[in-house]
Chain A
Amino acid sequence: MNLTPSRRGLLAGAAASLAGPGLARAARTPGGADPRFLIVLCGTGGCSIVDSFLAVRESESANGSTLNAWPDQLVQSPGGGPFRAIDFASKTIGAIPVPFTANQSDFVKRHGQDMMVATYTGTSVNHGVAEHRSVTGNAAWRGRTLQEAVALTYGAGKPIPNVHLVNGVSFTDRGTDDSLPSSAYGERAPSPNLWPLSLDGRKGVPGAPDAKLFEAARAFRNGTLDPESDFVRTFGDSVRLKRWLELRGAPLKDIEGADLITQLMVHSDSEDMPLKASGLKSSPLAKKVREAFPAYGFDPLESQAALAFLLIRCGVASTVTLGPETSAVFNKGAALGRGGLSAGDMRNTPIAFDFSHQAHREVQSLMWSRVLSVTDRLITLLKSEELAGGKSYWDHSLVYVATEFGRSRNRPAGAMTFGSGHDLNNGALIVSPLVNGGKMLGGVDPETLMTYGFDPLSGRPEPGRHMTEPEIFSGIIQALGIETPGAGLPDMRVMRRKA
């Protein structure tokens, strides 16, 4: 590998090696000149690349009728580029009578130039283990996650560098690199809609004292009351207590100083959210975000995406992790028992992509369509906001659709509805102006529907080669311009833009 270390990179690396565990903050290096933003969008449950951008037509495979090769007419080649797309409509999702229409080709047409698919084969069919490995590259870099690496490199000066918006998945588990400062760890934001209220200790509280008096009370508590109390003197060695006391210092000041209770407030003043009566306000960007994600009030993925945009745009975070959760989500008012479900009423299948165990094609189509729709709107928002020098936030961003694994390829002869299992072989979708856009790295064998790899320097397809989790991890890290001194990561040059 022959990357020229930048001053910023050296400082970030030095900070990483010197900072021990605990709340030592990463050195405040001027990372603002060329920031990067990582958006990890989780394909929870196993989103299959052969049910999307590497789809195989039935006519292309001698085994097409017993493998998951799609009917020819459902497989598009938008714009004649390397990516396939499946546009599919169905009256049911397996045994569930809920019609839907799914579309992938629109995304390819709009973002094909920034799309890159890289095939790989994972190492675990267990959800939790595989989720974690998809963001650590299976401990490629001392066990740190992609999100932690980005927070460490680009999070300096940001109040909450790494935010986890999705719940119940291991894409957001901490990495195992204990050398990282805890400022790089992910911050859970479990309820995106109300979470901003937890970011200020005083604003909006009825009868609150003025800010100076409030800070005087805090200073008394932090500087006198607690340190001189028998309680803290007796239990001061508690890890929990130490963390609590440290969080009340600089981290709290940073968060409150950024007025995040306002900046991240997506809601407008309403009966359900009486902001004005409490002296609070919506974010200046709230209207724009609500228009992009109108279901933010009840659809967890849209509320996550709304907040994800604000976190990046308002300079709060350098990385966000969001994704469909494992509960079924329906349109408001929809229910099976009330006269049936209308088209599109099921927005998220139970257990997300993993419901493919019951109805593979329907679930893959519906959920890919969902994930791509949210990604599209997020990209549109990021493109619409200038970061600096005529470049948008999108120009500095990378979306990585992380997932556990692919799905099994066989099906009963000619069946459209069937269940699938977990399969290690798959491919990753990465969307970014920072990567080698418009590129399909690797390919698929039409006789087995298994993907195969590529030469990491030239990109030449290599049937028989399987790319690994560390290689995909490295490619993303390098595309993001993160220095990795001593990590021994492979050079995945072809994954970077202008390779």
Chain B
Amino acid sequence: MTSWRVGRFSGLKAWAAVITAVGLSALAAGLASPGGEAVAKPPASMEFCKIYPTAHACAASPVVNCTTCHTVPPARNLFGAQVAEHLAPGAARPLSDADYIAALPAALKAVEALDADGDGISNLDEILKGSAPENGDSRPTAVSCTPGQTRSAAAGRWNTCGYDPVHAWRKVVLDVCGRSPTRAETDAFRRRLPSESSWREGISGQLDTCLRSPYWLGVNGVLWNLANAKINPQDSIKAGPRAGSIPLADYEWDYNLFAWMNTGDRDVRGLLTSQDFVKRVSDDPPTFAAVPDADLKGMRQAGQTVPREKRAGMITTRWFTTVNTMFTPIPRTTAAAAYRQYLGLDLARMQGLHPAVAEPIDYDAKGVGAPACAVCHSTLDPLTYPFTRYDGIIRNNYNPNRLKNFVRTDGARVVEAPEAGEIFGQKVANLLEWSQVAANSDAFAQKVTWDYWKMMVGREPSPADQTEFALMWKSLKAPDKFNYRVERMLHALVLTEAYGRP
């Protein structure tokens, strides 16, 4: 089998910055500097893939990363600088989005034969084969084995020419059980090798066993740590056991819910939609159970105060609203955190921009309507409105009249902020609808898959991984494949070449 792989790939975070769709409103004005210097063009990400549909980076996503042309937008990298030299020469800057899109194909064509990073490989070759045209250390490398090499590799310690079941199985034990297999276990697995169905069963069975282990499921285990960045625990304000100096909320409930939705036959979309409240029943073996609402009474600081019918998984928990919303009427940080941690879209890095018409309105008079701010706030503010009815610190409840409490501090207009908002260009009436749209999006499936991919494979999905990665996240969504069950996805992931080829 031959596949084009990148010899060395540093710095490209194609999947960390998936832009699922980019609005085509006039964003350039907010990004242009007075001197008419470099201007970032978010619409380019999608246009690039229309021009090069067979590019490696476009194989599983309709957009490419901004870093294809930029270092820190709007500053350009070497490739971007070459493109810019050929982009509508002589035309006045800044270009409108329409003029830019019209001129882009010719500019890209003009630099196809050039070599921006001086590595001896043309820009076009690098684009098509998936290495970075601006990085001299990134080169496509043919990875084919001759028949003789294939035979030798298969007989050697590691089958570097393809999927190596022993190598993969050993990784499963280490990754998911947290230990190396014993020699006896390894010998037993090797005896399965003559039968493909047998070794597949061996890997699958081992994975099932390890997915129940304290290393995977327990406190401070793998799943727990996967949630760290999403939950953002802080011991100083922890309530419940081992309370901090100012106990406000207990993050352990969030970790329980996270583990619950990522295990067993449960639908991982529950991270954004679940109305369950989950407790950890035992530590060894780690088991969880949903807590009936009646049992929540008396758990004032540690528990959940949002009524069941208003809950939206991880983004309405007591902890989440405490650390993100705090005392804020229009909690943009909360919405941005949800967008970033569960959909993989970082607005601060111009990802996931979907400017809404006539936004931002700036109900709380924070000055977000200024052109430079509106670039992001035209997306962020309507994204945030559904969160405005959820209290932060102390109350942590759903309160439709909440904004009245902020008139004194944030102005009379703050009460006009609606509960209805917008996500991915789609209007939603409240946070429950918001979370349904989010949970069913490609971005959600990609983010879930990306998190596990990075952890298990050991790196973010590279261009060389895109075929297998795309298969994973699309199958996660498919009702007849993984149907949003993470453990089913993991069973497939450990059988990928990305995981199992030494």
Say if A and B assemble together: yes
Contact B245 A330 (CB under 8 A): yes
Mark the stretch among A194-202, A314-322, A417-425 that contacts chain B.
Answer: A417-425
What is the chain A residue whose CB lies nearest that of B364?
A421
**Distance between Cα atoms of A415 and B408 in the complex (Å):** 10
Chain B residues within an 8 Å CB radius of A329: 236
CB-contact partner of A138 in B72, B235, B347, B409, under 8 A: B72
A230 to B160, CA, bound (A): 12
**Using Cβ atoms and an 8 Å threshold, which residues of chain B touch A136?**
72
Q: Would A129 and B502 count as touching, CB distance under 8 A?
A: no
Chain B residues lying within 8 Å of A357, measured Cβ to Cβ, are 326-328
**A334 adjacent to B72 (CB under 8 Å):** no
**Interface status of B247 (Cβ within 8 A of chain A):** yes
Kindly list chain B residues whose C-beta atoms are within 8 Å of the C-beta of A138.
Answer: 72
Q: Which of B89-97, B197-205, B366-374 contacts A (4 or more CB under 8 A)?
A: B366-374
Question: What B residues does A375 contact at CB under 8 A?
Answer: none
Q: Find out whether the CB atom of A239 lies under 8 angstroms from the CB atom of B8.
A: yes
Quick one: CB contact mask for B38-78 with A, threshold 8 Å, 1 for yes?
00000000000000000000000000000000011001000
Residue A234 interfacial (CB < 8 Å): yes
* Contact (Cβ within 8 A) B367 A408: yes
Stretch from A119-127, A216-224, A288-296, A305-313 that touches the partner? A119-127
Q: Are A129 and B348 in contact (CB under 8 A)?
A: yes
CA of A96 to CA of B244 in the docked complex: distance in angstroms? 14
Residues of B within 8 A of A235 (CB): 502
Residues of B within 8 A of A31 (CB): none
Q: Taking CB as reference atom, which chain B residue is nearest A413? A: B408
Contact residues, A121-175 vs B (CB, 8 A) = 123-126, 128-129, 133, 136, 138-139, 142-143
When chains A and B are docked, how far (Å) is the Cα of A230 from the Cα of B502?
12
A-B contact count (CB 8 A): 81
Q: Nearest Cβ distance between residue B270 and chain A, in whole angstroms? A: 28
What distance in Å separates the Cβ of B300 from its nearest Cβ neighbour in chain A?
Answer: 14
A128 to B229, CA, bound (A): 14
Query: Chain B contacts of A327 at CB under 8 A?
Result: 234-236
A335 interface hit (Cβ, 8 Å):
yes
- A419, B71: Cβ atoms under 8 Å? no
Of A21, A234, A350, A419, the residue contacting B157 (CB under 8 A) is: A234
B247 touches A178 (CB 8 A): no
A176 contacts the other chain (CB 8 A): yes
Instruction: Give the interface centre of A124, A125, A418 by most chain B CB atoms within 10 Å.
Output: A125
Minimum distance in angstroms from B168 CB to a CB of chain A: 15
CA distance A421 to B330 in the complex (A): 11
Q: Which of B1-55 contact A (CB under 8 A)?
A: 8, 10-11
The answer to whether A419 touches B75 (Cβ under 8 A) is: no
Whether B372 pairs with A123 at a CB distance below 8 angstroms is yes
For B8, what are the chain A residues with a Cβ–Cβ distance below 8 Å? 239
Query: In the complex, what's the smallest C-beta–C-beta distance from A110 to chain B, in angstroms?
Result: 31
Interface residues of A in 18-35 (CB under 8 A from B): 20-21
Q: Which residues of A contact B158 (CB under 8 A)?
A: 230, 234
Give the residues in chain A near B137, CB-CB below 8 Å: 20-21, 178
Interface string of A319-339 (1 = CB under 8 A from B): 000000011111000111100
- Please, which residues of chain A bring their CB within 8 A of the CB of B10? 21, 178, 239
Task: Assess the A230–B236 pair: CB atoms within 8 A.
Answer: no
Q: Which of A143, A328, A408 sits near B71, CB closer than 8 Å?
A: A143
A125 adjacent to B236 (CB under 8 Å): no
Contact of A412 among B71, B236, B243, B409 (CB under 8 A): B409
Q: Give every chain A residue within 8 A of B388 (Cβ-Cβ).
A: none
| A136 CA to B72 CA, complexed, in Å | 10
Q: Which residues of B contact A421 (CB under 8 A)?
A: 366
Q: Is A410 an interface residue (CB 8 A)?
A: yes
Q: Which residue of A lies closest to B67 (CB)?
A: A176
Among residues 214 to 272 in chain B, which have CB atoms less than 8 Å away from a CB atom of chain A?
A: 234-237, 243-247
Residue B291, interface by CB 8 Å: no
A335 and B245 form a contact (CB under 8 A): yes
Bound complex: CA A418 to CA B72 (Å):
35
B308 close to A (CB within 8 Å): no
A124 touches B348 (CB 8 A): yes
Is B190 among interface residues, defined by CB-CB distance under 8 A?
Answer: no
Asked if A358 lies at the interface with its beta carbon under 8 angstroms from chain B, I say: yes
Query: A-facing mask of B324-340, CB < 8 A → 1, else 0?
Result: 00111000000010000
Closest to A127 in B: B348
Q: A235-B502, A336-B246, A350-B236 are in contact. Are A143 and B409 (CB under 8 A)?
A: no
- Asked if A139 contacts B409 (CB within 8 A), the reply is no
- Say if the beta carbon of B281 comes within 8 Å of chain A: no
Partner of B348, one of A126, A176, A419: A126
Contacts of A178 in B (CB 8 A): 10-11, 135, 137
For the complex, give the distance between the alpha carbons of A136 and B10 in Å. 20
Q: Does B349 contact A (CB under 8 A)?
A: yes
User: Contacts of A335 on B, CB cut-off 8 Å?
Assistant: 245
Q: Which of B72, B235, B349 has the most CB of A within 10 A?
A: B72
* A326 contacts B234, C-beta separation under 8 Å: yes
- Whether the Cβ atoms of B349 and A358 lie closer than 8 Å is no
Assembled-state Cα–Cα distance A412/B326 (Å): 19
Tell yes or no: B365 within 8 A of A by CB. yes
- Give the residues in chain A near B247, CB-CB below 8 Å: 336-337
Chain B residues near A326 (CB, 8 Å)?
Answer: 234
**Bound state CA distance, A142 and B373, in angstroms?**
25
How far, in angstroms, from A139 to B74 measured CA to CA in the complex? 10
Cα distance A371–B409 in the bound complex, in angstroms: 28
**Which of B235, B236, B244: most chain A Cβ within 10 A?**
B236
Query: Across the interface, which residues of B come within 8 angstroms of A408, CB to CB?
Result: 366-367
Task: Give bound CA distance, A73 to B137, whole Å.
Answer: 61
Q: Mark A396-426, 1 if CB is under 8 A from B, else 0.
A: 0000000000001010100100110101000
CA distance A379 to B369 in the complex (A): 43
| Residues of B with C-beta under 8 A to A234 | 157-158, 160, 502
Chain B residue at minimum C-beta to C-beta distance from A328: B236
Contact A328 B349 (CB under 8 A): no
A418-B348 in contact (CB<8A): no
CB <8 Å contact, A176 and B236: no
* Set of chain B residues within 8 Å of A143, measured between Cβ atoms: 71-72, 75
Whole-angstrom CA separation of A263 from B373 in the bound complex? 48
Known: A128-B348, A419-B409. A139 touches B71 (CB 8 A): yes
Q: What residues make up the interface of A, taking CB atoms closer than 8 Å to B?
A: 20-21, 96, 123-126, 128-129, 133, 136, 138-139, 142-143, 176, 178, 230, 234-235, 239, 326-330, 334-337, 350, 357-358, 408, 410, 412, 415, 418-419, 421, 423
A selection of 13 A-B contacts at a CB cut-off of 8 Å is: A123-B372, A142-B71, A143-B71, A230-B156, A239-B10, A328-B246, A330-B236, A330-B245, A337-B243, A337-B247, A410-B365, A412-B409, A423-B367
Beyond A328-B237, A412-B409, 15 extra complex contacts between A and B, CB < 8 Å = A96-B246, A126-B336, A129-B349, A230-B157, A239-B8, A239-B10, A327-B235, A328-B236, A337-B243, A350-B237, A357-B327, A358-B327, A408-B367, A419-B327, A419-B328
Chain B interface residues toward A at CB < 8 A: 8, 10-11, 71-72, 75, 135, 137, 156-158, 160, 234-237, 243-247, 326-328, 336, 347-349, 365-367, 372-373, 408-409, 502
